[in-house]
Structure 1
């Protein structure tokens, strides 16, 4: 990885912002306002793809398209689900660069111009990301001081990300070169929960990866209707989908990655370790109920499926002791304090570097 000094845009590249929408029509006005905030620096068009929302979101989108020629709408007559909706919108993008922005999320002012400037200055880069702030209600005041750009060789970035088996990118902060997106052919329908993680990793097998540092690039809205807090929530599903993502990546794109089998082994070990930490944590915080204990047992089983050596690991021995009725050596309040401290330090490192830290070990 190398840090470079940012450069300003010297022309006006065209950026297409694809906005998938399902029952988010009430967010569209705020979303579009954030999209066009950079119109003085970048040529922007927005493509809203409504997936047969029953709340009338398509009518809201059509009104915006009638008022602004920069807005286009694709309205599904039947629900096609999120992956097909994403891919249809991305395939119809006309800009040199493309952003996928859920209708409930927002871009920070200057985000499109900053990302486009990096892509324009470094033609070897296929994907740019930054930091996305989580919010509820009103978005916070964004950090606005651009400090640097980070540029990784693609396989180097993939190695760093798979070493922790975690996804360091939310999604709204990503801009991709349209030619890279076309080569990748969009999101993989086999991964309804982790298709974004897979897409970022695959991008790193084909192009360099860039990051805009020091500023907030987007805002990820947290609310009760978020897909990842509803239909696709749950630790077991998350671990299963990331395991499938890594298997598909190394099986189908491993030849593009130097030392792929070593990377695979490290990624599997990291993911198995995380599964066991998740299986142990509720026991550290108090005795889980019967239903939760069954989910924790599944996490422990997953750990050995992913990385057979987990069977004899210290984490597995700790889990078995807890499941058999043995309490943790450290009182739950102390454990909770430790976890909060570790999480905060990891969050700060992720915000600064763009790479998620490894999950803590016991």
Structure 2
């Protein structure tokens, strides 16, 4: 039976901790151990964690005297893990029934696979039902060559793997090292690409974890700006190419794909920021686009954005209303949906806290 260590970092999530741990302890078909690391939480985390460790010998608990931050806490968990496989699960997230068995079965049967992942279900309070049967068949999972994953990630310049669903081979994790402190928002994304350089990945078309959405999620609380998120994605790829470029086929082509994707996303976000009234943010996003890919300055969209910023939002909205009004029938209401301005929101990424929530 596979031995699996599930690291549960916790900071101020004491009210979520018990449900998280119970979703791990009820996993069948595997020998599981839960490693709770409390990063000096000021809430009731110590009480809940102590109770859990007393109630079940499979639960181990550590508490920091001082807050060390999430990356240091994750890496401490990786050093602590001794099982065949390792999972990192934020204390506000949950595993679906059978999640560990499904992932471990693939890892057991395919030693060339260094990392498995599946789908996550977003929820807030009430757990929704899984979207399909929670079992593996010959048709609902596949092995992805490492280079193929890197190709797909470069095309999007983004994280393609839901972190709560990931299981890694512990021996390979030790070889690759821990998460990068310089990537607090993209450490998971960079780690998965590191695995892809050294091994194949396995993807399951099965719900493997529940991702809890709430106002205190780390990626919302600390990394809510679109600019910071894009800068981190760009830096994650820079680390990848700097450290492993010689091992990546068509590395220069992938670098150009990343540059183009970052520039594209930055310009789109700049457009949305402008219509939210954030002209400063819009300018900074345009600058990021140019830094990512200098050919951006040859695009018509780039020059259009620059012109819009020179004109200012009130004048642009006024001009758009006049133009649209001239195209509408005389009796068309001015509150027509056609007159609504775009709403600004960060470019969508797989929710991440540097690894999870």
> What is the TM-score when the length of structure 1 is the normalising length?
0.85
Structure 1 stretches of 5 or more lacking a match?
1-11, 351-362
Deviation at 1:181, TM superposition (A): 1.0
Residue 318 of structure 1: CA displacement? 2.7
In the alignment, the residues of structure 2 paired with residue 13 and residue 275 of structure 1 have an alpha-carbon distance, to the nearest angstrom, of: 44
Compared with structure 1, are the counterparts of its residues 117 and 265 closer, same or farther at alpha carbon in structure 2 (3 Å cutoff)? same
Deviation at 1:334? 5.2
Q: Is the 8 A contact 1:273 1:315 kept in 2?
A: no
Preserved contact between residue 37 and residue 61 of structure 2 (Cα < 8 Å): yes
The worse-fitting range, judged by mean Cα deviation, of 145-154 and 59-68 is 145-154
2:104 pairs with 1:116: yes
8 Å CA contact 1:132, 1:218 repeated in 2: yes
Question: What number of residue pairs does the alignment pair up?
Answer: 326
Give distance in 2, aligned partners of 1:35 and 1:15. Answer: 10
* Deviations 1:112-131, CA, capped at 9 Å, x for gaps: 11111111111101010111
1:68 aligns with 2:53: no
Aligned partners of 1:87 and 1:176: how far apart in 2? 14
User: Is 1:86 aligned to 2:74, yes or no?
Assistant: yes
Q: CA deviation at 1:333?
A: 4.0
Separation of aligned partners in 2, 1:182 and 1:99: 13
Offset of residue 111 of structure 1:
0.8
Deviation of 1:247 after TM superposition, in Å, equals 0.9
Does the 8 Å contact 1:133/1:219 carry over to 2?
yes
Residue 240 in 1 paired to residue 231 in 2?
yes
1:137-216 map, 5 Å: 137-145=125-133, 146=136, 147-213=139-205, 215-216=206-207
Q: Which has the larger radius of gyration?
A: 2
Query: Is residue 272–residue 302 contact of structure 1 (8 Å, CA) maintained in 2?
Result: yes
Give the match for residue 327 of structure 2. none
For residues 26-52 of structure 1, give each alpha carbon's deviation from its aligned partner in whole angstroms, at most 9, with x where no partner exists.
1111101111222x3111100000001
Contact 2:13 2:91 in 1 (8 A): yes
Instruction: Say if 2:269 and 2:282, in contact at 8 Å, map to a contact too.
Output: yes
SS of 1:172's partner is helix
Question: By how many angstroms is 1:281 displaced?
Answer: 2.3
The alignment's C-alpha RMSD in Å is 2.4
**Residue 282 of structure 1: CA displacement?**
4.0
**Residue 266 (structure 1) shift:** 0.8
Report if aligned partners of 1:280, 1:318 keep a CA contact under 8 Å in 2: no
Q: Once the 2 structures are TM-superposed, how far is the Cα of residue 336 of structure 1 from its aligned partner?
A: 7.8
| Cα separation, 1, equivalents of 2:163 and 2:340 | 29
Kept after mapping to 1: 8 A contact 2:7/2:86: yes
User: 1:118, 1:314 → 2: CA distance?
Assistant: 48
SS in 1 for 2:155: helix
CA distance in 1, matches of 2:145, 2:266: 29
Q: Does 1:224 align with 2:210?
A: no
CA–CA distance in 2 between the matches of 1:246 and 1:336?
36
Quick one: which of 78, 88, 102 aligns to 1:100? 88
Within the alignment, does 1:28 sit opposite 2:28 as a pair?
A: no
Q: How does 1:268-279 map to 2 (within 5 A)?
A: 268-279=259-270
Q: Residue in 1 aligned with 2:299? A: 313
| Structure 1 range deviating more: 147-156 or 43-52 | 147-156
Structure 2: which 5+ runs fail to align?
Answer: 325-335, 351-357
